[in-house]
Amino acid sequence: MQVAICGAGPSGLSQLHAFESARQNGYSIPNIVCFEKQTDFGGQWNYSWRTGLDDYSEPVHSSMYQNLWSNLPKECSEFVDYSFDEHFGQPFTSFPPRTILSDYIQGYAERNNVRQYIRFNTVVRWISYSDEKQKFHVVVKDLLKDETRSEEFDYVIIATGRFSTPNVPYFDGIETFPGRILHSHDFRFAQHFHGQDVLIIGNGLSAEDIALQLYKYGAKSIILSYRTKPKGFKWPDGVKEVPLLVRIDKESIHFRDGSSHTVNAIIFCTGYVHHFPFLDDNLRLKSPTSLYPADLYKATVWVHQPRLLYLGMQRLAFSFNIGNVQAWYVRDLILGKTLTTLDLYDNKNTSEEARYVANGLATNMMGPDFIHGFIAYLSHSLPI
């Protein structure tokens, strides 16, 4: 059996660890290949000063900026079986800088002996499925050798993450704006905005952090434009929140409350979209980012072809933890240690899932109860 994993970020590493753990415990595992287009593992946490295209004219994957610190407690970004305290040998701050998170992820990978499965500097160009052969056709390019080749696999696991393709909404008149426009994906150095008036569109975690970075490094003023409601923080002087913009007229930005302001730069902090250009259309997840993407059984198994698995596609804070549980679930599906993929889709399973999701989304959209419930739900069929 041949298994392909696309991506060696936290979710891909969790998947490799799950298989390697089974091997070390005496189980026979498939032949596994993990394709990673970057030079090392870590996914988003591989910081690069580059934006746009990398050394090989591939889109830059990372959205990290120079002085990023975790905007969630580290307890939300821990692997289930490897804590920060274990990695560093001592208690550690709950909000570490990106360099610490990167070191932690590197340690997790090396500790679990997964480098042997990874082909670095290898980008996946195309994946399709043959009903006749019952195999996936995978086309990859070795960036170092500039060689393209094709391989066949029985299962494919998508672990490419969901923070690399920006969501950039259109606003009337934006093409008239003469200043710099960028998405937070391409934000790297707050120093570049010293002395400028900056508009940030969005008021999520990235918007908050970038606003404070800009303030710290000398931006003249920062305006955060929110869609639904303001954060209501006691912002420092020079930082304020206004309703969503409605129109842009050159340097002048007009907002829903009737106010207008002149700015030098616009930064979109408007999230990301699922983007899988390397997948055949009938394999491609197309739903918006959400707590529970459509067409994924247990937010993991592609219902239209259950040999295709997705990891980490939910909009949840506890991404490392959930990626771990998903990886073990996927491993046990492939090894036949839990329900086979052909058994997943009877009326009982699908109706129970529908009820669970409807209840979770209706009662506690982003709260810990939903997250805890989902992890328990996903773990239910595991042989724990």
The pLDDT score that the predictor gives to residue 381 is 52
Give Cβ neighbours of residue 277 (< 8 Å, ≥ 6 apart). Answer: none
pLDDT band, very low/low/confident/very high, at 120 (cuts 50, 70, 90): very high
The reply to whether 146 and 212 lie within a common domain is no
pLDDT of 354 reads: 53
How many beta carbons lie within 10 A of that of residue 144, not counting itself?
A: 11
**In the sheet that 118-119 helps form, which strands lie side by side, from edge to edge?**
118-119, 31-35, 2-6, 155-158, 308-310, 301-302, 296-297
Residues 361 and 284 in one domain: yes
Identify the CA nearest to 46 among candidates 109, 124, 101, 114: 101
Rounded Cα distance between 327 and 312, Å, is: 9
Both structure tokens of 354: 């529908």
Helical (H) or strand (E) element with 2: strand 2-6
Looking at the structure, do residues 17 and 75 belong to the same domain, yes or no?
A: yes
Q: Which residues contact 378 (CB under 8 A, 6 or more apart)?
A: 298, 299, 300, 322, 325, 326, 329
Are residues 244 and 190 part of one domain? yes
Q: Are residues 47 and 112 in the same domain?
A: yes
Q: Looking at the structure, do residues 185 and 145 belong to the same domain, yes or no?
A: no
Asked whether residue 233 falls in the same domain as residue 355, the answer is no
Shared-domain flag, residues 160 and 99:
yes
Least confident residue range of 64-73, 212-221, 232-241: 64-73
pLDDT confidence of residue 370: 66
pLDDT attached to residue 384: 38
- Which residue segment(s) compose the domain that 194 sits in? 174-268
SS in 3 state form for 19-32?
HHHHHHCCCCCCEE
pLDDT of amino acid 358: 53
The answer as to whether 169 is a domain residue is no
Strand order in the sheet with 239-243: 180-183, 265-268, 197-201, 221-226, 239-243
Residue 255, classed as helix, strand or coil, is: strand
Lowest mean pLDDT among 19-33, 64-78, 193-207, 299-313: 64-78
For range 265-275, the mean pLDDT:
94
44 near 60, Cβ under 8 Å?
no
Is residue 46 located within the same domain as residue 13? Answer: yes
Q: Looking up tokens 């420092």, which residue turns up?
A: 236
Residues in the chain: 384
Do both 102 and 228 map to the same domain?
no
* Residue range 352-368: mean pLDDT, rounded: 53
Report the alpha-carbon distance of residue 142 to residue 125 in Å, rounded: 10
Question: Considering the domain boundaries, does residue 360 fall inside one?
Answer: yes
Would you say residue 368 has pLDDT above 90? no
- The answer to whether residues 264 and 278 belong to one domain is no
CB 127 within 8 A of CB 138: yes
Backbone angles phi, psi at 190, to 5 degrees: -65, -25
Mean pLDDT of 145-163: 95
- State residue 330's pLDDT score: 94
Whether residue 347 is predicted with pLDDT greater than 50 in this model: the reply is no
Q: What percent of the chain has pLDDT over 70?
A: 88
pLDDT for residue 339: 54
Most confident of 98-107, 169-178, 232-241: 169-178
Contacts of 134 by beta carbon, 8 Å cutoff, 6+ apart: 154
Instruction: Match 């340690």 to its residue by tokens.
Output: 107
Tokens of 125: 């160009």
Question: Does pLDDT of 268 surpass 70?
Answer: yes
What burial class does residue 364 get, using C-beta atoms within 10 Å of its C-beta: 0-12 exposed, 13-18 middle, 19+ buried?
middle
Q: What angle do CA 364, 367, 371 make, to 5 degrees?
A: 100
Mean pLDDT of 73-100: 88
Looking at the predicted structure, is the pLDDT value of residue 383 above 50? Answer: no
**Which CATH number covers residue 191?**
3.50.50.60
Per residue in 310-342, pLDDT (tens digit) is 998 887 656 777 888 899 999 999 998 765 444
Give the span between the Cα atoms of 47 and 58, in whole angstroms: 15
320 occurs within a structural domain:
yes
The residue out of 237, 268, 299 marking a domain boundary is 268
| Chain centroid to CA 32 | 22
Number of independent structural domains in the chain: 2
Taking 60 as the threshold, does the pLDDT of residue 284 lie above it? yes
**pLDDT averaged over every residue in the chain:** 88
State residue 139 phi and psi, 5-degree precision: -110, 125
Please say which residue of 233, 252, 268 terminates a domain: 268
Residue type (1 letter), 309: L
375 and 259 assigned to the same domain: no
**pLDDT over 90 at 214, yes or no:** yes
Residue 366 has pLDDT above 60, yes or no: no
- Among 212, 237, 268, identify where a domain stops: 268
Could you tell me if residue 99 is inside a domain?
A: yes
